[in-house]
Structure formats: C-alpha cells, structure tokens
Structure 1
Amino acid sequence: MSVAGSDAPEVNPAPVSADAVRSRRQLYLIALAFAAPLLIAMLLRGLGWQPIASRNHGNLVEPPFDISAIALTRPDGSAYEWRPLEARFHLLVRQEGDCDTGCARFADMLHRVWAAQGRQAERLDVLWLGDAPPAPTQFRHWVGLQPSTELEAALKEQGVADAALLMVDPNGFVMMRYEGGFDPSGLRLDIKRLIK
C-alpha cells in the first residue's frame, strides 16, 4: 500500500534470519567483553578507589631519611665510610645484647639472602651494629659496627627503631624497613629488584 501522493514504491524489508541475529548478538557480546573492564575501571576511578601499587615486601620509609652524616665505627675503631659512587646498598641490623641462637639464625638467613644475589652480592653490605654473630656466619661484605647512640636517636625520631632490618640506599638514606618475622624470600626479591 502506498501513501497518497507518494511516488516511492512500497518496500517490505526482508525477514532477518536466526543466524544473522545470533551473529549480531555475538558481536555485541565480544564488544562488551572488551569494553567492560574499561567501564569498570572508569567507574572505580570516579568513585575514588585506588589499587595498592606496591610490589615491595618490606615497608617503604616515608620519607626516606639520611644517616650518612652519622659516624659509624667498626670494632677496631676505624670509621665506616659511605661510598655512594660504588652503588652499594646496605642492610642495617641492630643487635641488642648478646648474640644468642636466634641472632645466629638471623645472621645465617642474611648470609643466605646475600649469597642468593650471586655476582650482584658484591653491591650489598650487611651492617651489623652490636654483638657480632659467630664467625662462620660472617661473610664478605659483612661489616661489624659499634652501637651508635646518635644512630639510635635518629631511628627513634623517625619511628623505625623497632624494625628488625633496615635497607639503606648507596647515599645513606634509610628507605625500607622489615618487621620481625619477615619472609627472607621477599627480602631477596626486593634486593634483586634494586641491585640488578
């Protein structure tokens, strides 16, 4: 049937086959599968949600603070010198009291973490303040140091005096802390990322 006054022929659309409907539906589902993550991310961002963007196993010290000006002394009385040009990282351990069995196990664990770095271990010093562990646990780049009241005061002031281990960058900035009972494999991975 044509409308009065219209010269256009009457057009009846062809019926759409079930295959065409199925194909079109699949196309829409594929497009939705690619668009959905973007839409969800935009929604979460709009609501103010942020994912935790940390791959570290230790806790970052915010802000990092400098201890390179604090005089650290070896047991023989010589000074420990920071050498930033050597790009050497430091693990700082403060041993209070006598080095008992737990202390010796901790030192052995640090030795294993240090040795696991392979040739990059040459870029890592372990600074041990206080009573030294047994001789077999000591290793190359293990540096025994006398306790320092100035360092203790700086660590307390920054709120990191209770950490089991501190990571210090080549310039002498305390940048990461590890609480007691930390996972040694996490420490190993953090070191590997830093000194590769």
Structure 2
Amino acid sequence: MTDSNAKSTTPRSGRFKLVLIMLVFLAPIVAAGILTLSGWQPQGKGNGQPIVPQRSVADVRVDAGGKPWAWRDSEPRLTLVALPGPGCAERCVQTLALMRNARIVLNRNADRLRLLYIGAPPVAAGSDAVMTDYVVGTDPADAFAEFRPREADSVAAVLVESNATALAWYPAGFDPNGLRKDLQKVIR
C-alpha cells in the first residue's frame, strides 16, 4: 500500500537541489574572481597613505643602540618608524608623544608594536620622558629619505609589518587619532 500523503523524491529533484546548494557556495568565489580579474581592489578607510608598490625593508640596516635593528623579530611585531624633519623640537615631540599614546591604547597588545625613532634625538623640553618608549637609531644609507619630512619641527611615520614589508606612510602633519585607529585595526 502506498501512502497518498508521502512525498516522492525523484532523482531529478534531488540533483536540482544539489546544484542549487553548489551555486550558493560557488557564487561568491566566482564574483571575487571576476572583480580581481577586472582590477578592482577594495579601498579600506586607512588614514595612512599606502606605500605602492609595497617594499621590503629587510635589507635596510638601522643601527639601534650599537646593534642592527631586527626587522623580523623573534615574535610577530609591527614597527612604527618615526622620521623627524630637521630640528625636532616642541611640535615634533608632541606628535611623538601622541604616537606613543597610540601604542599605549592598544592595552595588552601594546607589546606587538615597537617604536623606532630614526634620526638625531630631540632636545626640546619633555623629550626625555617621551623618548623612553622609543629605540633611537640611525640609518646610514638614508633608506627612508623619501618618507622623511623636509619641514622643520615635524615628524612622519612608516608602519612596517612583522615580515619587514613597509605598509603605510603617515606624512608630516598626519592625524595621530587616525594612526591610533589604523593600529587598532591592524593589531588585534
């Protein structure tokens, strides 16, 4: 006896459902492939200027306290490189303090960001307290010259990934709050 209320599934309807399920999972992959091939790249809302093309700074020798700076550290940590303009004074030190505060705001993740200052240490009042969080170094080859500001009493920054890739540049006059937001996105 057959139950008239029982639904019969034919092989044809089963295959149709299988194809629909496959299409649901395949559609985003196909869409991403088409967008990539067309050259579209998502534009993030980062506050720094992307360094295009990205470049490795692994070969850049920075003397930090008599030792070469290890771009690739023993654990994955980013490096925020502070590049002062000529005569780093009061305004420059204020920006350095805000950069340091952006690191402090990371709370338990603050250890995942290193602060490197490349240049002559500032001599303005209060600079000693700010510079305790920075490693002061020199760049004999001046590899960061294109990112260093030309204006007096200013500072720029370059964010370097743990694999020694320079990611973003923050030119002189950048918004330290924007830097803080970017750091909170990148370091979690």
Q: Shorter chain as normaliser: what TM range?
A: 0.5 to 0.7
1:72 maps to: 62
Q: TM-score, normalised by structure 2?
A: 0.66
2:169 alignment partner, one of 156, 173, 177:
177
Q: Please point out which of 120, 124, 129 is paired with 2:118.
A: 129
Structure-1 residue corresponding to 2:187? 195
Deviation of the 1:52 alpha carbon: 6.8
Structure 1: runs of 5+ lacking an equivalent: 1-47
Deviations 1:47-98 (A, max 9, x none): x9x8973221111111210111111102x32211123451111111122433
Query: Structure 1 96/58 Cα, relative in aligned 2: closer, same or farther at 3 Å?
Result: closer
One-letter amino acid of the structure 2 residue matched with residue 97 of structure 1: P
Correspondences of 1:1-196 after superposition (within 5 Å): 53-74=43-64, 76-133=65-122, 134-140=127-133, 142-152=134-144, 155-156=145-146, 160-162=147-149, 164-196=156-188
After TM superposition, give the deviation of residue 178 of structure 1 in Å. Answer: 1.1
* Secondary structure, counterpart of 1:137 in structure 2: helix
Cα distance in 2 for residues equivalent to 1:53 and 1:130: 33
Offset at residue 161 of structure 1 (A):
4.4
- Gaps of at least 5 residues in structure 2 are 1-37, 150-154
TM-score (structure 1 length as normaliser): 0.64
Residues 53 and 80 from structure 1, CA distance in 2 versus in 1: closer, same or farther, beyond 3 angstroms?
closer
Deviation at 1:150, TM superposition (A): 4.1
Moved over 3 A (4+): 160-163
Percent identity, aligned pairs only?
A: 22
Q: CA RMSD in A?
A: 2.5
CA contact (8 A) 1:115 1:121 kept: yes
Query: C-alpha separation between the residues in 2 aligned to 1:171 and 1:111?
Result: 22
> Whose Rg is larger?
1
3-state SS of paired residue (2:172): coil
1 CA distance for matches of 2:118 and 2:138?
5
Q: Would you say the 8 A contact 1:60–1:175 is kept in 2?
A: yes
Structure 1 counterpart of 2:57, which letter? I
Equivalent pairs, count? 142
Q: Judging by fraction of residues, say which structure has more helix.
A: 1
What's the secondary structure of 1:189's corresponding residue? helix
SS in 1 for 2:174: coil
CA spacing shift, 1:65–1:79, aligned 2, 3 Å: same
Give 1:138 deviation, angstroms: 2.0
Deviations 1:127-162 (A, max 9, x none): 10112242100244x21101332414xx53xxx444
